[in-house]
Amino acid sequence: MNAIHFFKPELLWLLPLTLLPLVSYGVKQFNYPGLEDWPKDLLSDWLRWGVRALAVLTLISLIIAAAAPFTEGGTVIRVGEGAEIVVVLDRSGSMSENLQANDQSVNAKPISKIEASRKVLLRFMEQRPADTFGVVAFNAAPISVAPLSADRELARAALKSAESNSSGFTALNRALAMGLDYFNGRPFTATRLVMLVSDGDAVIEPEDRVILKNLFRQYRAKLIWVYVHAGVEKNILSSVIAGDNEYIPQAELDQVEINQNVAMNRLFEDLDIPYQAFEVNSEAGLQQAVAEIERSTNKPTRYEYRLPRQDYAIYFYLLAMLLLGALFWLKQIEIRAWKP
Amino acid sequence: MPQQPLIHYHVRWRPSGHQPGASRGIVAGIGDQLRSVVLLRDHPDPRRLDLRASVRDPFANIWVRDFNLNSALKVIVLVDTSASMGYVGQVNRMHVAQEIASQLALSAYRSGDAFGLFAAGEAMNKQCMLPPKANRGAWLWVNHHFSKLKPQGQHANGLFAAVPYLPQRRCLVFLISDFRWQAGKLKQLLKKMAHHDVVPVMLQDPAEMDALPKSGIAILRDTETGAAQFVWMRESLKKQMQNLRAQHVRNVEEASRKYGNKPFVVKGEFSSALLTKYFMERSA
């Protein structure tokens, strides 16, 4: 059982005041000539002590209720299928570029990459109820938007609030470091994923690579790059996945080789960490990504669920009310004038 | 204070004073009771000539009648001023005592009797002391002094100290108290005053006896000792209480009877007519 704490323990100093009813009588007094032959009445004596005890108890329960006792709820470890996922969301200027729309109809409205990825991520979150989400948004500097917690509303709000804002430079390495930092101090109970949602366009300095590599090792986290794909950009996977149906000329491949995104992909692979990349520009891409993540996170998650603390003041207030009712009744039957 | 009729107290014994008054005395003087027939030589009052006795006397002496003096009584009031006398229930006990004393003072003056008053609580109150004498303004004196009297003290043993201040000869003593005394105290006092005609006037308040609350809780505080008693009034306790108070009255009656007295119980307000009735019953 948890120990009882008080919200305002200083109020307990008032407890000696509860002895006041033992000093005063609290009942109306009448003079009476000669009590020496008053009959010995046990019932009266009991009631006398009863009234005092009642008053003392009322005061005690009121003071304790005012001091607001509570016990810490503690934490409960729950087991669920899922992963701890830190979404590292790129909100650099390039993310505001419009995504290539599949249908070419007039009604189709172009949507920006960040909007699309937000939608995708929200849907992803819906499909993964057991996961723990944290959000880091970054452009020139990473912002810790929502810490890693079971609070789904927070992560959702964090995603919704992320808007693209161009400042030219993309601090990818620092964002990843911050995302990894979320795992700091948490027990390793579930698969750890850092889900980078970005359209690339960032470089990582060689010295930072070492740091990142060590961090990924340290936290045993896995990196997933959800590559938000605009039409004009090249498929990053073309360099990895061979044997596609389409024919890719060597010259174009060379061009892709020098493409920064591909370089980034390579870079992540070179980090020598568990790494996967997904290209998301459509519903199908999303399904694939979700399925893939499910496959990779089949390990059951044991996560700590913080119980709310238990408040006991209400019981003391109820007790005080009951006792006050009894005292009120006694006050009602008090003799106000000594006459029949 | 409403005007009350005078108290016609009447005693069956003969006062021995030489002061002319309303009671049949034992000294020779002008009265309505024939004492003896004496020679004119011894009692030279030709107005009381007894013709029958003079004619019948073969030696032709002249006889005159001698009468017992109708002499005055001495009425003494002893007032208990212990704290319990300050009880204010339905009536103010001290006011009742004052009323009795002043009515007695007035009646005593009207009958030509001497009136004296002594008050005592734990000790005798020397400030409130009136030696017995025919005193026209005695009732005013009573009212004046009683208004300044503060009942205090846990017992009324000062009354014993007041006894030596009483006249040596028999007189009518009214002992005004509620008799909430220790057991035996009343008997002791009555024994000390055995040669006087003592009328214990017992003050009672309906609030302490008949008019108790039916139910409820309260704290009773003894006016003398200050002891507190938590009471939960209910029918059984009320009955118990009334029985005890009735027992108290019986105790006082019993103690008085032993010395040939009968207490006069004043319930609530004092009525002088009731006291007159008491004397008529007593003399019968």
Tokens at B137, concatenated: 């303004």
pLDDT tens for A236-252 read 554 444 444 555 555 55
Find the residue in A nearest to B213 (Cα).
A340
Q: Tell me the nearest-neighbour CA distance from B150 into chain A, angstroms.
A: 15
Q: What is the pLDDT of residue A257?
A: 45
Looking at the structure, do residues A265 and A299 belong to the same domain, yes or no?
Answer: yes
**Residue A339, domain member (yes or no):** no
User: Which whole number is the average pLDDT over A90-109?
Assistant: 65
User: What is the reported pTM?
Assistant: 0.63
Give B 178-197 residues with CB within 8 A of chain A: 178, 180
Looking at the structure, do residues A165 and A289 belong to the same domain, yes or no?
Answer: yes
**Residue A337, domain member (yes or no):** no
Report whether B178 contacts B134 (CB < 8 A).
Answer: no
What is the domain count for chain A? 2
Closest to A47 (Cβ–Cβ): which among B225, B230, B240? B230
**Residue A288, domain member (yes or no):** yes
Q: What is the pLDDT of residue A238?
A: 47
Cα–Cα distance, A105 to A174 (Å, whole number): 41
User: Which whole number is the average pLDDT over A317-332?
Assistant: 93
Mutate which of B232, B240, B251, B266 to test chain A, going by most A C-beta atoms within 10 A? Answer: B232
Closest to A335 (Cβ–Cβ): which among B205, B213, B223? B213
Q: What is the pLDDT of residue B61?
A: 93
Q: Which residues in chain B show pLDDT less than 50?
A: none
Cα–Cα distance, B263 to B186 (Å, whole number): 12
ipTM confidence score: 0.77
**Residue A340, domain member (yes or no):** no
**Residue A338, domain member (yes or no):** no
Q: Which residue has the higher pLDDT, A295 or A152?
A: A152
Sheet holding A4-6, edge to edge: A4-6, A69-71, A310-311
Buried b (16+ CB within 10 A) or exposed e, A40-49: ebeebeebbe
User: Which whole number is the average pLDDT over A256-270?
Assistant: 64
Closest to A32 (Cβ–Cβ): which among B208, B214, B217? B208
Cα–Cα distance, B75 to B132 (Å, whole number): 7
**Residue A150, domain member (yes or no):** yes
Whether residue A45 and residue B230 make contact (CB cut-off 8 A), yes or no, is yes
Which of A227, A230, A234 minimizes the C-alpha distance to A280? A227
CA distances to A57, A70, A207, A213, A296 from A274, rounded to whole Å, are 65, 45, 20, 10, 10
Find the residue in A nearest to B86 (Cα).
A33
DSSP A133-170: EEEEEESSSEEEEEEEES-HHHHHHHHHH------S--
Which of A295, A278, A330, A256 minimizes the C-alpha distance to A83? A295
Domains in chain B, ordered, with CATH?
Answer: 20-71 (no CATH), 74-210+241-283 (3.40.50.410)
Looking at the structure, do residues A278 and A162 belong to the same domain, yes or no?
Answer: yes
Residues of B with Cβ-Cβ distance to A45 under 8 angstroms = 230
CA distances to A120, A253, A281 from A284, rounded to whole Å, are 11, 25, 8
Q: Is A328 on the interface with B (CB under 8 A)?
A: no
Q: Tell me the nearest-neighbour CA distance from B183 into chain A, angstroms.
A: 11
Q: What is the pLDDT of residue B96?
A: 94
Looking at the structure, do residues A97 and A193 belong to the same domain, yes or no?
Answer: yes
Q: Which residue has the higher pLDDT, A41 or B200?
A: B200
Looking at the structure, do residues A18 and A36 belong to the same domain, yes or no?
Answer: yes
Place of tokens 């009683």: B146
Task: Quote the domain boundaries for residue A41.
Answer: 4-72+308-332
Which of A99, A96, A119, A137 minimizes the C-alpha distance to A229? A99
pLDDT tens for A148-187 read 877 788 888 888 887 766 666 677 788 888 888 888 887 7
Q: What is the pLDDT of residue A118?
A: 80
Place of tokens 């212990």: B82
pLDDT at A189 over 90: no
Looking at the structure, do residues A263 and A143 belong to the same domain, yes or no?
Answer: yes
Q: What is the pLDDT of residue B256?
A: 93
**Residue A161, domain member (yes or no):** yes
* CATH number of the domain within which A257 lies: 3.40.50.410
Q: Tell me the nearest-neighbour CA distance from A334 into chain B, angstroms.
A: 5
Looking at the structure, do residues A27 and A120 belong to the same domain, yes or no?
Answer: no
Looking at the structure, do residues A109 and A191 belong to the same domain, yes or no?
Answer: yes
Looking at the structure, do residues A117 and A143 belong to the same domain, yes or no?
Answer: yes
Confidence of residue A102 (pLDDT cuts 50, 70, 90): low
Looking at the structure, do residues A186 and A57 belong to the same domain, yes or no?
Answer: no
Q: Tell me the nearest-neighbour CA distance from B240 into chain A, angstroms.
A: 7
pLDDT at A301 over 80: no
Q: Given the DSSP bridges, would you call strands A191-198 and A83-90 parallel, antiparallel or unpaired?
A: parallel
Looking at the structure, do residues A206 and A115 belong to the same domain, yes or no?
Answer: yes
Share above pLDDT 70 across residues of chain A, in percent, rounded to a whole number: 76
Mutate which of B231, B240, B247, B250 to test chain A, going by most A C-beta atoms within 10 A? Answer: B231
Residue B233's CB is within 10 A of a number of other CB atoms, namely: 22
Residue B134's CB is within 10 A of a number of other CB atoms, namely: 16
Looking at the structure, do residues A176 and A323 belong to the same domain, yes or no?
Answer: no
**Residue A151, domain member (yes or no):** yes
Report whether A320 contacts A58 (CB < 8 A).
Answer: yes
Q: Is A48 on the interface with B (CB under 8 A)?
A: yes
Q: Tell me the nearest-neighbour CA distance from B247 into chain A, angstroms.
A: 10
pLDDT at A323 over 50: yes
Write the CB contacts of B99 (distance below 8 Å, at least 6 apart in sequence): B1, B269, B270
Angle between helices A113-127 and A152-161 (to 10 degrees): 170
Q: Is B230 on the interface with A (CB under 8 A)?
A: yes
pLDDT at A99 over 80: no
